[in-house]
Structure 1
């Protein structure tokens, strides 16, 4: 075989394939429960503590609950000057649909995970709403209505402009970073500024650093770039969710190079059948499309990473920010024996020696929004209805509440999100189902903040890039 058969990390090695294994892989990190955020009596952040220690402080009356989700306690008898604060750091793994945030302590190249959050963005919904608005405006222009002159002065966009659906992801991540700095002594942030190190991908230039000279990190950059470029699918048959090899479009035995523009992804059967034949001979019907995709310039990577640069600039204005590439993150995660997830990627961002501790559960914060801007709604005939009222009896839909029902079908204590009604009979959705009761049995635990909170085991969901 003249073509390269290198296995994509995370897949099953094929017979005869060349698999790149990272060096320095040690024991699997120990799992611990997520730590609890601690504030002093003046609301200044202290070092996060273990759940057992937090329970002792609450039981002895030395602390009170400051926030329910994420769980934050506030000490009543200590200040920041009386406590030892070592500080924590944040790792951020930006994604198209989800963003992972990991809080950890770092000492001597060793990282210990303390808390993990997965942000579920609503960029797709924002895009859908904007498309609906554009359709309404186009409809008004085409209907038999009075003429309105076109306005073009408001169509210019400033340099660095991002679409609302993309800007939402940056603003949401910054909002949570700002929250975490209020609950924990965050000293620095590590973020993926680019998904691929284009310098490591380029040929004909000297690569600096021991990692690049050895070629280990370079291999991961190439694989990560090809996986994203071709959608993790074989370019010849289109199959997905199978082991993929790196194949040369123009075989090396016939003068082909190792440049990224000459590399594609192929499943094992297609790779073996192609052998050292040119793509025009092996797949004549798809040859033109494959060559077009393979020769796409590296600026496509910059387009994919546009929001990562905007996020880095915003973070750098807030905290000392260290950047790394997605290829390095995958290399760190693989050599530490971690599975693929958004939060574990966030824990493995940047330069590190090893990861010794991870958390067992992840807080999933789904962006739900705060409602609509319109003051009134229209009925089916287009006439405005009465102004909308959000609060009833001091409660608003989305508030986290505790309801104690004394008797009846739903007797007991329930904690969940409330849906209010003007009649005073509210519904609360919990992990066990739906319960209804009168408003006098409800107590507010936390006001609605535009997010829906759930938990899941660490590493339960694969990253959707």
Structure 2
């Protein structure tokens, strides 16, 4: 991973070329072979046309979020450019709320009568709130800008938080995929999210790591299905041992009922993907480039495997397959 963003380069016909290192950009400027075309992102324009361009593979990776979106540009497995977008969703919502309050107050004032609008107004299919549309449009503005200044061949984005197909039907791509390290990682991340990252037996946050445990012990015929798994702290897991949860919590009927109810919740809760991400995904396809999707569980797995700190830009670089 480079410590400094590369510099974008276009030829005199504005054809995007391979981004270069800042040191090469300085030499081009000092020798008079190029001029500054844009300050941000910093882009140079050559004073001649380039006919033959070396074939390179640039991938644009996106980690969309509610407040921040990370973007990373990779040359094969090397990160050459990163960007963090801060969305104004909360500010837009606040201004829309103020406008609504002004309109509501105007109805009680002694002003001219205004006929009511059409009472049958309906929101069109796929409608998004303005604060959500802002996220998509801001991200797409930068995607189009980067495609314009660099020869991007494909786009990879994080579309879902969990690979629910991998959790629910692990045999879709064979035994190796089912029992692989990533499969267990996706399952653990799903369980942590499903149970609120709290010990199910104590219904409270703990400062100790949580472990995956069986509700009905495997030694007594319990399965490895998601509906039979929960998370618990080490202390509770050791006390429970191979007891059935009904015996372990026989003195706490309310807690037992909550655990059994939560365990039966279907995977559709995790599969309910953010509508903003789907909107972004469908908009990205209009660029004509190949759009590859992956899960948030895989992104976190890649980041932990590379021992990288948590950041939206770094998460973007870890989206999809990382060698």
TM-score, normalisation: structure 1: 0.61
Aligned-pair CA distance for 1:90: 0.7
Aligned-pair CA distance for 1:41: 1.8
RMSD: 2.8
| Alignment partner of 2:133 out of 145, 164, 167 | 167
- Residues 232, 142 of structure 1: CA spacing in aligned structure 2 closer, same or farther, 3 A cutoff? farther
Aligned-pair CA distance for 1:66: 1.8
Between 125-134 and 194-203, report the one with greater CA deviation.
125-134
Within a 5 Å distance, the mapping from 1:3-22 to structure 2 comes to none
Query: 2:212, 2:229 within 8 Å by CA — same for their partners in 1?
Result: yes
Aligned-pair CA distance for 1:283: 4.9
1:81-136, Cα deviation, whole Å (9 max, x unpaired): 15435241111122222221110112xxxx11101112122223333333333444
In structure 1, stretches of 5+ residues that fail to align are 1-29, 355-465
Query: 2:2, 2:80 within 8 Å by CA — same for their partners in 1?
Result: no
Q: Separation in 2 of the partners of 1:321 and 1:35?
A: 23
- Residues 64, 313 of structure 1: CA spacing in aligned structure 2 closer, same or farther, 3 A cutoff? same
Indicate whether 1:269 and 2:240 are aligned.
no
| Alignment partner of 2:164 out of 184, 194, 198 | 198
Within a 5 Å distance, the mapping from 1:100-249 to structure 2 comes to 100-106=70-76, 111-141=77-107, 146=113, 148-149=115-116, 151-154=118-121, 156-203=122-169, 206-209=171-174, 211-235=176-200, 236-239=202-205, 242-249=208-215
- Residues 302, 249 of structure 1: CA spacing in aligned structure 2 closer, same or farther, 3 A cutoff? same
Indicate whether 1:48 and 2:48 are aligned.
no
Between 275-284 and 182-191, report the one with greater CA deviation.
275-284
**Larger helix fraction of residues:** 2
Aligned-pair CA distance for 1:277: 4.8
Between 35-44 and 45-54, report the one with greater CA deviation.
35-44
In structure 2, stretches of 5+ residues that fail to align are none
- Residues 188, 270 of structure 1: CA spacing in aligned structure 2 closer, same or farther, 3 A cutoff? same
Q: Which residue of 1 aligns with 2:33?
A: 62
Q: Separation in 1 of the partners of 2:132 and 2:7?
A: 31
Indicate whether 1:95 and 2:65 are aligned.
yes
- Residues 326, 201 of structure 1: CA spacing in aligned structure 2 closer, same or farther, 3 A cutoff? same
**Larger strand fraction of residues:** 1
Indicate whether 1:297 and 2:266 are aligned.
yes
Q: Which residue of 1 aligns with 2:245?
A: 278
- Residues 285, 140 of structure 1: CA spacing in aligned structure 2 closer, same or farther, 3 A cutoff? farther
